[in-house]
Structure 1
Amino acid sequence: MQAEARVSQLDSTQMVIFLRTDLFELYDIQEKNKLVSRSLPLDWSEEDWLTVLIRRVFANEPFERLARRLRVADDEIEVRAALEVLFPAEVEGQPVDRWLTDSLRNGNGNISPRLAVLLLHLTRELSLQTDVVTAPIFSADAVQRAMTKLSDLTFAEVVNDFKVAPTFVLNCRAGKLTDFTLAEVEQLFDDAEGKTGDQVRLLERLGFLERVVEQHGTQTRSMFRIPRLYTRCWDYA
Structure 2
Amino acid sequence: MVLRDRIDETFNYDRGLQEALVQALLQAEAWVSRLDNIDLVVFLRTDLFELYDIQEKNKLVSRSLVLEWSEEDWLQVLIRRVFANELFDQLARRLRVADEEIEMRAALEVLFPAEIENQPVDRWLVDSLRNGNGDISPRLSVLLHLTRERSARPDAVVATVPLFTADAVQRAMTNLSDLSFSEVVNDFKVAPTVVLNCRAGKLTSFTLSEVEQLFDNTEGKIGDQVRLLERLGFLERVVEQRGTQTRSLFRVPRLYTHRWDYA
TM norm. shorter chain > 0.5: yes
Q: Distance in 2 between matches of 1:218 and 1:209?
A: 25
Q: Distance in 1 between matches of 2:200 and 2:9?
A: 37
Question: In the alignment, which of 111, 114, 125 is matched to residue 149 of structure 2?
Answer: 125
Question: In the alignment, which of 118, 142, 159 is matched to residue 93 of structure 1?
Answer: 118
Please name the residue that 2:230 is paired with.
204
Which of 212-221 and 96-105 deviates more? 212-221
Please name the residue that 1:114 is paired with.
139
Paired residues of 1:212 and 1:224 also in contact (CA < 8 A): yes
3-state SS of 1:34 partner: helix
Question: In the alignment, which of 4, 7, 10 is matched to residue 8 of structure 2?
Answer: 4
Residue ranges of structure 1 left out of the alignment (5+ in a row): 7-16
CA change 1:209–1:22 in 2 (3 A) is farther
Please name the residue that 2:15 is paired with.
none
Q: Distance in 1 between matches of 2:77 and 2:67?
A: 14
Superposed displacement of residue 27, structure 1: 6.0
Paired residues of 2:78 and 2:145 also in contact (CA < 8 A): yes
Superposed displacement of residue 172, structure 1: 2.6
Superposed displacement of residue 226, structure 1: 0.4
Superposed displacement of residue 5, structure 1: 9.0
Superposed displacement of residue 219, structure 1: 1.6
Number of equivalences: 224
User: Structure 2 matches for 1:126-141, cutoff 5 A?
Assistant: 126-130=150-154, 131=156, 132-141=158-167
Please name the residue that 1:82 is paired with.
107
Q: Partner amino acid for 1:34?
A: N
CA change 1:33–1:44 in 2 (3 A) is closer
- Of all paired residues, the percent bearing the same amino acid is 73
Q: Partner amino acid for 1:48?
A: D
Q: Distance in 1 between matches of 2:233 and 2:52?
A: 11
Paired residues of 1:18 and 1:114 also in contact (CA < 8 A): no
Please name the residue that 2:50 is paired with.
24
Q: Distance in 1 between matches of 2:213 and 2:9?
A: 45
Instruction: Return the TM-score normalized by structure 1.
Output: 0.85
3-state SS of 2:69 partner: coil
Q: Distance in 1 between matches of 2:175 and 2:202?
A: 17
The answer on 1:215 being equivalent to 2:241 is yes
CA change 1:2–1:232 in 2 (3 A) is farther
Residue ranges of structure 2 left out of the alignment (5+ in a row): 11-42
Q: Distance in 2 between matches of 1:209 and 1:151?
A: 14
Which of 213-222 and 45-54 deviates more? 213-222
Please name the residue that 1:60 is paired with.
85
Q: Distance in 2 between matches of 1:228 and 1:209?
A: 10
Superposed displacement of residue 150, structure 1: 1.1
What is the CA RMSD across the aligned residues, in angstroms?
Answer: 2.6
Q: Distance in 2 between matches of 1:32 and 1:175?
A: 36
Q: Distance in 1 between matches of 2:49 and 2:258?
A: 22
Paired residues of 1:21 and 1:41 also in contact (CA < 8 A): no
Paired residues of 1:171 and 1:188 also in contact (CA < 8 A): no
Q: Partner amino acid for 2:129?
A: L
Paired residues of 1:152 and 1:230 also in contact (CA < 8 A): yes
Q: Distance in 2 between matches of 1:67 and 1:33?
A: 39
Q: Distance in 2 between matches of 1:90 and 1:107?
A: 24
